[in-house]
């Protein structure tokens, strides 16, 4: 600095004391102005290399028109030269200052002769603004007249360029810092926003969970590792019958009666060992009321500490109902036993009574027949009629007693069947023949449409009893001049017998009930047609003992009773039984 004149030294000190809080461009403008004034220059420019696109741009000018740079570019374009070959381009490339003592003698300035003349400058100095070895811009100073540059001038402009470079670098650094600060500010704001959002979410989810826990009808409790109540929802304290403040922090045994102590301590041991099987227990409330609970639990780790989460349900009402049901069941069982005993006594009584009745009745019937046959002496017509009535009524009584006997056998399951090969055709023919007189009394026509059927395995007497029963019913419930038809079918594995009448019919909702013991469709029927409601139940039992089935149909034109009986198969060794002709 020794070879720099005092005014220039002052200028340098002025540059150093420029207020750096000013706008970046204003600072550069001031540096340029001070430099030009100190060197007596007419004009000057500061150009910077754009950090993004690497293009050089004018950022400050002194003593030049605003469109100076555009005109430089235009002139270069017109002359067809590349700006890189201009003095500025040379400085950028070499990183050294470039002197133009007289523009008109400078070949590099040729394309701009006219512009220089117009703007009135003849000599120039182009100085690099550096950051280390890299050129980041240029400080250019122009004089009106051609000149010989002294070292002092060159030094001064070089120092001014380096000052300008420092300002640019500081400003850029500040700019970046500013950007970083802005980014950080933005980041902080975003972060704060996110924290707020997370807080809200947490608050919402806590409120959500709390609402669920509080609105649960089941009690939810948290018990710590030492068995002390730590938390409970409203339902829990309601169920336990203790206020929250008297339970929190207390040992869980506080809510159990003395007789549950061992049981509950065992349960607590189980829980600690990881056995989470639910159980029932009883508690005692603050007001000494006993309640029954269903307890299920699991364990969890809250803030690193093991806790037991206990869910309690009040099952006191269920327990009471269960108890009542148990008592009711016991009573029912007792009544059932008593009824069974009464039924057994009744069956026994009927069995004895029927035997007792049968003997004298058979003897009455026998003597009536003897009297009627005049084996004991002659009788007149009047007496014969009376004997006929006695005979019919004693037969009715014998039939009734037989049915009663069957019933008592059915109840004791002792209705013995004597199986053998039987001909359904024979049974049907015999029954129809036997029933013809009864049918005739009511002018009912009794037909048969029966094909030859194979013999089947069955009890002839009992099967006859079934057919007679169905025919007697058909005649009984068919009005005068009606029609009864007996039909048979031979299926592959079964034979079917159907007895169709044109009688009063059976309502569809009673069709299955008529096979129940003592069931009659209505009491008026009973009065009109008599009977006991026993016959069909005996028929059903006999047919089922033959592995067959019996059912009734009624279509408004009378009733049809169907019987299906299984045929013998080769497995029985009697498959060679031929159909009868
Ligand atoms: P009972 O004939 O002695 O009353 P059953 O067990 O033989 O007893 O019959 C039960 C009831 O079924 C009868 O009272 C009657 O109401 C009904 N029933 C049976 N057969 C017929 C039929 N062919 N037509 C209409 N109703 C019938």
Task: Give tens-digit pLDDT for 258-308.
Answer: 999 999 999 999 888 888 899 999 999 999 999 999 999 888 888 888 899
Does residue 22 register a pLDDT over 80? no
Collapsing DSSP states into helix, strand and coil, what is residue 546? coil
Compute the chain's Rg from CA coordinates: 64
Distance 386 CA to ligand 1 centre (A): 30
Inter-residue contact 35 to 139 (CB < 8 Å): yes
Cβ-based burial of 314 (10 A; exposed 0-12, middle 13-18, buried ≥19): buried
Does residue 27 register a pLDDT over 60? yes
Lowest-confidence region among 88-97, 256-265, 403-412: 403-412
Mean pLDDT for the stretch of residues 74-82: 85
Inter-residue contact 188 to 154 (CB < 8 Å): no
Distance 78 CA to ligand 1 centre (A): 131
Does residue 139 register a pLDDT over 70? yes
* Atom 7 in ligand 1: residue holding the nearest Cα: 535
Work out which ligand 1 atom sits closest to the CA atom of 505: 25
pLDDT, residue 171, reads 79
| pLDDT tier, 3 (very low <50, low <70, confident <90, very high otherwise) | low
Q: How far apart are CA 508 and CA 532, in angstroms?
A: 21
Q: How far apart are CA 138 and CA 97, in angstroms?
A: 9
Distance 496 CA to ligand 1 centre (A): 21
* Atom 13 in ligand 1: residue holding the nearest Cα: 520
| Sign of the alpha-carbon dihedral angle for 157, 159, 165, 166 | negative
pLDDT, residue 405, reads 83
Distance 527 CA to ligand 1 centre (A): 13
Out of 42-51, 168-177, 459-468, the most confident range is 459-468
Distance 468 CA to ligand 1 centre (A): 13
Work out which ligand 1 atom sits closest to the CA atom of 558: 24
Distance 545 CA to ligand 1 centre (A): 21
Mean pLDDT for the stretch of residues 440-460: 94
Torsion, Cα 52 54 59 61, to 10 degrees, reads 180
Tokens representing 364 are 């009455």
Spatial CA neighbour of 238 closest among 281, 286, 297: 286
Distance 469 CA to ligand 1 centre (A): 10
Q: How far apart are CA 393 and CA 385, in angstroms?
A: 12
Work out which ligand 1 atom sits closest to the CA atom of 522: 16
Spatial CA neighbour of 413 closest among 540, 541, 533: 541
Q: Tens of pLDDT along 314-373?
A: 999 998 998 899 999 999 999 999 998 887 787 778 778 887 888 888 889 899 999 999
| Sign of the alpha-carbon dihedral angle for 456, 461, 466, 471 | positive
Distance 377 CA to ligand 1 centre (A): 42
Work out which ligand 1 atom sits closest to the CA atom of 538: 6
Q: DSSP per residue over 315-327, as a string?
A: -HHHHHHHHHHHH
Mean pLDDT for the stretch of residues 423-436: 95
| pLDDT tier, 1 (very low <50, low <70, confident <90, very high otherwise) | low
Check residue 571 and report its DSSP letter. G
pTM score of the predicted model: 0.47
Residue that the structure tokens 């309690």 belong to? 312
Instruction: List Cβ neighbours of 504 (8 Å cut-off, separation of 6 or more).
Output: 477, 478, 479, 558
User: In this structure, how many other beta carbons lie within 10 angstroms of the beta carbon of residue 144?
Assistant: 15
Q: Is 55 left (phi over 0), alpha (psi -120 to 50) or beta?
A: beta
Query: What residues line ligand 1, using a CB cutoff of 6 Å?
Result: 473-474, 477, 501, 503-504, 506, 514, 519-521, 525, 531-537, 559
pLDDT, residue 572, reads 47
Tokens representing 536 are 């069909």
Distance 444 CA to ligand 1 centre (A): 18
Does residue 525 register a pLDDT over 60? no
Residue 339: phi and psi, rounded to 5, are: -60, -45
For residues 1 and 168, which has the higher predicted lDDT (pLDDT)?
Answer: 168
Q: Which of 482, 509, 531 to mutate to test the pocket of ligand 1 (most atoms within 8 A of CB)?
A: 531
Tokens representing 484 are 């009864």
Helices 535-545 and 460-476: crossing angle, nearest 10°? 150
Does residue 419 register a pLDDT over 60? yes
pLDDT, residue 82, reads 79
Q: Which of 468, 473, 560 to mutate to test the pocket of ligand 1 (most atoms within 8 A of CB)?
A: 473
pLDDT, residue 5, reads 77
Spatial CA neighbour of 128 closest among 159, 95, 100, 155: 95
Tokens representing 147 are 């000149």
Does residue 466 register a pLDDT over 50? yes
| pLDDT tier, 527 (very low <50, low <70, confident <90, very high otherwise) | low
Cα distance between the two ends of the chain = 155
pLDDT, residue 19, reads 78
Mean pLDDT for the stretch of residues 211-226: 90
Does residue 573 register a pLDDT over 50? no
Does residue 532 register a pLDDT over 90? no
Q: Share the mean pLDDT of the chain.
A: 88
Q: Of all helices (H) and strands (E), which one includes residue 174?
A: helix 151-215
């Amino acid at each position: 600095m020794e070879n720099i004149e005092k005014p220039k030294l002052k200028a340098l000190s002025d540059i150093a004391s420029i207020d750096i809080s000013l706008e970046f461009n204003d600072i550069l403008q001031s540096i340029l102005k001070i430099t030009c004034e100190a060197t007596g220059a007419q004009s000057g420019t500061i150009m910077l290399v754009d950090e993004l696109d690497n293009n050089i741009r004018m950022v400050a000018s002194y003593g030049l028109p605003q469109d100076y740079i555009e005109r430089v570019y235009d002139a270069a374009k017109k002359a067809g030269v590349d700006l890189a070959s201009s003095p500025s381009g040379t400085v950028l490339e070499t990183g050294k200052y470039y002197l133009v003592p007289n523009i008109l003698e400078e070949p590099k300035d040729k394309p701009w002769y006219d512009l220089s003349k117009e703007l009135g400058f003849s000599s120039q100095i182009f100085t690099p603004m550096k950051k280390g070895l890299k050129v980041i811009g240029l400080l250019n100073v122009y004089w009106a007249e051609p000149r010989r540059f002294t070292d002092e001038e060159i030094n001064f402009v070089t120092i001014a360029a380096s000052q300008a470079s420092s300002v640019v670098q500081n400003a850029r650094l500040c700019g970046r810092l500013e950007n970083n600060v802005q980014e950080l500010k933005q980041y902080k704001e975003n972060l704060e926003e996110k924290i707020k959002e997370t807080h809200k979410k947490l608050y919402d989810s806590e409120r959500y969970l709390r609402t669920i826990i509080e609105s649960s009808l089941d009690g939810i409790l948290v018990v710590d590792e030492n068995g002390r109540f730590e938390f409970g929802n409203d339902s829990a304290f309601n169920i336990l019958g203790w206020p929250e403040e008297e339970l929190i922090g207390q040992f869980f045994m506080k809510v159990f009666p003395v007789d549950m102590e061992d049981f509950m301590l065992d349960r607590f041991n189980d829980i600690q060992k990881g056995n989470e099987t639910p159980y029932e227990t009883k508690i005692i409330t603050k007001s000494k009321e006993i309640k029954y609970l269903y307890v299920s639990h699991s364990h969890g780790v809250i803030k690193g500490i093991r806790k037991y989460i206990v869910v309690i349900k009040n099952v006191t009402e269920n327990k009471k109902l269960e108890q009542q049901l148990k008592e009711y069941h016991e009573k029912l069982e007792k009544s059932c036993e008593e009824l069974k005993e009464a039924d057994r006594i009744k069956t026994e009584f009927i069995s004895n009574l029927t035997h007792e009745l049968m003997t004298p009745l058979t003897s009455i019937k026998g003597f009536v027949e003897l009297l009627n046959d005049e084996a004991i002496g002659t009788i007149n017509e009047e007496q014969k009629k009376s004997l006929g009535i006695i005979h019919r009524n004693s037969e009715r009584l014998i039939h009734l007693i037989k049915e009663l006997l069957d019933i008592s056998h059915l109840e004791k399951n002792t209705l013995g069947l004597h199986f053998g090969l039987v001909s359904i055709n024979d049974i049907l023919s015999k029954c129809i023949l036997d029933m013809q007189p009864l049918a005739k009394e009511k002018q009912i026509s009794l037909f048969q449409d029966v094909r030859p059927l194979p013999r089947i395995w069955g009890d002839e007497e009992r099967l006859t009893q079934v057919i007679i029963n169905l025919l007697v019913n058909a005649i009984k419930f068919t009005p005068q001049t009606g029609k009864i038809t007996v039909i048979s079918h031979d299926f592959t594995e079964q034979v079917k017998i159907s007895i169709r009448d044109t009688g009063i019919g059976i309502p569809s909702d009673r069709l299955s009930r008529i096979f129940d013991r003592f069931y009659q469709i209505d009491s008026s029927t009973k009065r009109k047609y008599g009977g006991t409601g026993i016959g069909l139940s005996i028929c059903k039992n006999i047919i089922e003992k033959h592995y067959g089935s019996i059912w009734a149909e009624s279509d408004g034109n009378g009733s049809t009773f169907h019987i299906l009986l299984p045929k013998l198969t080769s497995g029985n060794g009697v498959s060679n039984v031929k159909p009868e002709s």
